[in-house]
């Protein structure tokens, strides 16, 4: 199920005029599409930045 970007805007308390809302929704869709591409990559035990948790990696490595 594709997330509804207007839910995110409501959660953040953003109230945008219609023209700005269109721009925000378009940007959200482009970002979501790129994140989906990252999730589709077969990286074995490596994770793209959308999953990467640097604090956990630092604890594990050092």
Could you tell me the pTM of the whole model? 0.48
How do residues 1-40 score in pLDDT, each as one tens digit?
Answer: 666 767 777 777 878 888 888 888 888 888 888 888 888 8
Q: Left, alpha or beta for 56 (phi > 0: left; psi -120 to 50: alpha)?
A: alpha
Name residue, tokens 């490595």. Answer: 61
Count CA within 13 A, CB hemisphere, residue 53. Answer: 4
Number of domains in the chain: 1
Question: Residue 14 belongs to what domain range?
Answer: 5-61
What is the C-alpha separation between 20 and 28, in angstroms, rounded? 12
């Amino acid at each position: 199920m594709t997330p509804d970007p207007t839910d995110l805007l409501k959660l953040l308390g953003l109230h945008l005029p219609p023209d700005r809302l269109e721009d925000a929704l378009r940007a959200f869709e482009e970002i979501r599409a790129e994140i989906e591409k990252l999730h589709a990559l077969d990286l074995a035990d490596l994770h793209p930045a959308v999953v990467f948790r640097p604090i956990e990696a630092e604890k594990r490595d050092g």
